[in-house]
Amino acid sequence: MNNRFFSSLALRNIKSNKQLYIPFLLSSTAIIAMFFLMVSLMTNKFVQERSSSLPTLFMIGVVVIGIFSVIFILYTNSFLIKRRKKEIGLYGILGLEKKHVAKILFFESLFSSLLSIAAGLLAGLLFGRLVFMLLNFMLRMPNDIAYTTSLLSVGATVALFVLIFGITLLYNISQFTFANPIKLLKGKQEGEKEPKGSLILFILSLIFLGWGYAISITIPDPLAAIEKFFLAVLLVIIGTYLLFISGSIFILKALKNNKRIYYRSGAFISISGMLYRMKQNAVGLANICILASMVIIAVSTTITIYLGSEETLENRFPYEHNLKLFGDMDYVAEMNNRFFELQDEVIELTEENGLEVAEMESYRYESFFGNLEDGSFVFEQSSVDGDLPVLMMVIPLQDFNGMTGENYSLADDEALFYHSTKTYLKEDLSIGNKTYSLTEIENEFSADMALTESIALVVPDEAHLLDLREDYMGQFPESTHITVDAEIGWNTEGTEAAEKALAEQLESEYNGVSGSFSRYESRDSQREEWYSINGGFLFLGVFLGLLFTLGTLLITYFKQISEGFDDRGKFQIMQKVGLDENMIKDSTKSQIIWMFILPIVIATIHVSFAYPIVRKLLLIFGVTNDMTWLMTFIAVVIAFAGIYWMIYRVTSKVYYSIVK
């Protein structure tokens, strides 16, 4: 018997098991396309160039989808192979050697993997191109974002899925070589057994989930968020699978033991059915839950970023016109003069352009890195070391009062103090050779201060700035970057044309001139670029949302179809002993709680716990308004629940029409 014989036999098997193979091939194709799209996005030019944290986030996405693919294909494969046990068991009884059965299985795997990988790559390419085109059009992107794929992403996809299909082949072969034929013949009848130690699994799931949640809740700052996000996601995914496997079996068994609930026609049929394939059921639900969480996070965050563009702009550029002055170590006095001169200069320039200065703010400041240690701020050279030091901004009182309109006065050993984490509770703070008695104030400074642990210290006058610098230089004589810098920001009132003219004039005056030590930025001229970047994020978010929703659709479809064919015989028998169509509907209805509510509720819990960490991540993109994110988040949860409801309804109709 040669390979040709086995390969044609394998092909015939696939054809004659169409009912099983079509959903299997379809959903494998979809998951392959999904992974391929994700890898392609990771290497996409926009993702690589727009923000330093995007490639990391997409890397996380790729790994998550990768893990998801492994679980999903193993899951669908186990479904498939279980229902073919009898058929393949017959080969053994008809006298085929195990080696030969393995060969048949090999060819079956080969054909189905070749087909789905090829189809997946093609589908991914088409879907990516098409949806990018559509989104470019619909979101009116100023610069089209191109969908690109590389040989590398093709290679990665092929490699991963060849590996996964290889694993399923080994699994299938082991199923048949280690089982006796009689057991195989009964394979389809036997229900799934409860996994061993399900209590331990349940406890483990709580530990994993709790750990993941804890990471999110306790995350101190955005940079830590990027670092820990992946771990948290991974923990929650593992926790979700374990929770569904142990928890759903636990609940189902409890329901079964409650006679008043169990012995009612709808529950009777659906609970026993779910217990019969408890693991498959659990994995399927966990898959849906994870995809739902991903849709909600991807879409709600990117919408928030987009909606928050204006706010982000205001955070980054607090005034319409912003001028930053870089200090010089050796000419501190000149810098001070220049600071006041410049203010007069820009007012003059503004008025020359026929505009009025509506509001103006200016302040000088000095920044240090260091750590809070037991009542004192200990300088550190720079931020390159592993542990992130605390950023301290020191401002003279005169400038602070000027910018806030407050009227504080400070004695020589007093200072105003703002701490982003509000974890420093002492009354005094030593810094350098000085000790200040502190009065706490709110963040009157830049919103960026909340990004990492930061301190603002308002000292009595400029002399303190210089003293602190002395102390610092005494500790790190080589250091060159501690200078007194200054910010000048002002709003103007007048015609748009005049505003534009002013911006252009200021730009040519202060930017790009070597040795000028200043930089001018106009909010208006930044706006367009900012919107195109944030539009790009929205684009990616909507794309991922679509992708994951499609994934949810396919998984739900696969689950309903395969379970429908599985249950068909049972419903026929039950109809013979008096099951009517309304009861079939009843039993599909009582699955709603499981199929619909459970994944959505748990996904919502996941995403709610992800809130703190995602909020920190959003800070990186300049979003500080919690309200926007909360509202979008709620809207997206509701919208996705609606979409999933439709998916659920349509697929359960499919199920109903199969079993009826």
Partner 1 sequence: MTLLEIKNLKKIYTARFSNQQTEALAAVNFSVEEGEFVSIMGESGSGKTTLLNIISTLDDASSGEVYLDGNPLSKIKDKEISAFRRNTLGFVFQDFNLLDNFTIKDNILLPLVLSKTPIEEMESRLPPIVRNLGIEAHINKFPYEVSGGQKQRVAVARALITKPKIILADEPTGALDSKASQNLMEILKGINETGQTILMVTHSIRAASFSKRVLFIRDGAVYHEIYRGEQPADEFMDRISDSLKVLSTRGEQDE
Taking the complex as a whole, how short is the minimal distance between the CB of residue 261 and partner 1, in angstroms? 10
Orientation of helix 151-177 relative to helix 53-93, angle to 10°: 30
Nearest to 191 by CA among 82, 257, 277, 81: 277
Q: Is the Cβ of residue 427 or residue 580 nearer to partner 1 in the bound state? A: 580
Residue number with CB closer to partner 1 (324 or 570): 570
The residue behind tokens 């997206």 is 636
Rounded CA separation 424/270 (Å)? 57
Distance from C-alpha of 272 to C-alpha of 18, rounded to nearest angstrom: 27
**Rounded to a whole number, what is the distance in angstroms from the first to the last CA of the chain?**
43
Q: Does 1 bind partner 1 (CB under 8 A)?
A: no
Cα–Cα distance between 335 and 339 in angstroms, integer?
A: 6
- The reply to whether 259 sits near partner 1 by the rule CB under 8 A is yes
62, 38 contact by CB (below 8 A): yes
Q: Which is nearer to partner 1, 140 or 576 (CB)?
A: 576
What six digits make up the tokens of 97? 């050697």
Question: Considering only residues 189, 257, 514, 657, which one is a binding residue for partner 1 as defined by CB under 8 A?
Answer: 189
Among 23, 273, 564, 622, contact with partner 1 (rule: CB under 8 A): 273
- Residue 196 or 260: the one with the smaller Cβ distance to partner 1 is 260
* Residue placing its CB nearer to partner 1 in the complex, 263 or 645: 263
Residue 565 touching partner 1 (CB under 8 A): no
Q: Is 182 in the site for partner 1 (CB under 8 A)?
A: no
- Determine contact, residues 613/221, Cβ cutoff 8 Å: no
Run of H or E including 388 = none
**Any contact of residue 331 with partner 1 (CB under 8 A)?**
no
Contact with partner 1 (CB under 8 A): which of 186, 589, 653, 660?
186
The correct pick among 260, 333, 425, 478 for binding partner 1 (CB under 8 A) is: 260
User: At its nearest, how many Å lie between partner 1 and the CB of residue 423?
Assistant: 57
- In the complex, what is the shortest distance from the CB of residue 260 to partner 1, in angstroms, rounded to a whole number? 6
The interface with partner 1 within residues 347-366 (CB under 8 A) comprises: none
The answer to the question of residue 34 lying near partner 1 (CB under 8 A) is no
The rounded Cα 435 to chain-centroid distance in angstroms is: 44
- Kindly report the number of other CB atoms within 10 A of residue 654's CB atom: 15
Distance CA 201, CA 659 (A): 34
Helices (H), 94-221: 98-138, 151-177, 181-186, 198-217
Least distance between partner 1 and beta carbon 192 (Å): 10
Q: Which amino acid is at 308?
A: G
Q: Which C-beta is closer to partner 1: that of 268 or that of 565?
A: 268
Q: State the nearest-atom distance from the C-beta of 86 to partner 1, in Å.
A: 12
Task: Give the C-alpha separation, 288 to 555, whole Å.
Answer: 7
CB nearer to partner 1: give 575 or 608: 575
Q: Which is nearer to partner 1, 366 or 563 (CB)?
A: 563
Under rule CB under 8 A, residue 265 binds partner 1: yes
Alpha-carbon gap, residue 604 to 378, rounded angstroms: 43
φ, ψ of residue 382 in degrees (nearest 5): -160, -175
Beta bridge partners of 390: 370
Q: Name which of 140 and 260 has its Cβ closer to partner 1.
A: 260
Does position 193 interact with partner 1 (CB under 8 A)? The reply is no
Smaller CB separation from partner 1, 266 or 318: 266
Buried b (16+ CB within 10 A) or exposed e, 133-151: eebbeeeebeeebebebee
The binding track of 367-396 with respect to partner 1, each residue x by CB under 8 A or -, is ------------------------------
42 binds partner 1 (CB under 8 A): no
Task: Compute CA 320 distance to the chain's CA centroid, rounded to the nearest angstrom.
Answer: 33
| Run of H or E including 56 | helix 53-93
Residue 190 touching partner 1 (CB under 8 A): yes
CA dist., res. 317 & res. 489, Å (int): 9
Residue number, 170 or 182, with CB nearest to partner 1? 182
We find the least distance from the C-beta atom of residue 577 to partner 1, in angstroms, to be 5
Examine residue 473 and tell whether it contacts partner 1 (CB under 8 A). Answer: no
Q: How many residues interact with partner 1 (rule CB under 8 A)? A: 25
- Considering only residues 569 through 598, tell me which ones interact with partner 1, judged by CB under 8 A: 570, 573-581, 583
- At its nearest, how many Å lie between partner 1 and the CB of residue 574? 7
From CA 384, how far away is CA 429, in angstroms rounded?
25
Residues that bind partner 1 (CB under 8 A): 186, 189-191, 259-260, 263-265, 268, 272-273, 275-276, 570, 573-581, 583
